[in-house]
Amino acid sequence: MDLPTDYIRNTGFGKNDIPSNVKGTPFLNKNFTPVQLKINNKTINAQMRYDAYRDAFQLKQSNGNVYLNKNSQMGITYLNKDYSLLEYYDDNEIRRIGYLQTMTENDNLKIFKKHIKIFTEGEEAINSYTTDKPAKFEDDVKYFIAIDSKMPKEVKLKRRDIIRFFNDKKVKSYIKDKKLKFRDEDDLYTLAEYLN
């Protein structure tokens, strides 16, 4: 089923400056997968993939692949995870808007994840002892926390940064007692359960 044109970007993202021999892909999963779009209390099944380099969803339609317009009224379930278009603060306190994946949420705490693809230009060998380095995409993940319905704020997955973000003696004590290191996101889930 093709989506109405109101939800589709009728232009691309300008000049495609990605070389053809790039290692990796700009997509979280390069294959189109079944997705549920929730638009105005209506669920639409579609085939999509997430372009983590451009922070946009690409939709497979009968007339070719197109990108979705960014619409905060649209909910997306992709790879069994919920994505929402939200405003957030990055680690430089700059207000941005983009797709965030909901990790966990309750009445006063929401934790989000943002998948990112970083593009690195290729480099030619500088002499005969070195080899060319091809252009490549690398995966990165950023985490965001929202407290009491405030705008999500980026938090580095480091123990001291989490403690500084909450700025609460009980949270600090819990993190130390449970020996949470925040080397992976499981410790974020553990902390979220405690704060629930």
pTM attached to this predicted model: 0.86
Cβ 125 vs Cβ 132: under 8 Å: yes
- In angstroms, the CA 60 to CA 32 distance is 7
Looking at residue 6, its pLDDT comes to 55
Digit-coded pLDDT (tens) for 87-98: 999 999 999 999
Cβ 180 vs Cβ 187: under 8 Å: yes
Digit-coded pLDDT (tens) for 139-171: 999 999 999 889 999 999 999 999 999 999 999
Q: Which residue, among 140, 147, 141, has the nearest Cα to 192 in the 3D structure?
A: 147
Looking at residue 20, its pLDDT comes to 76
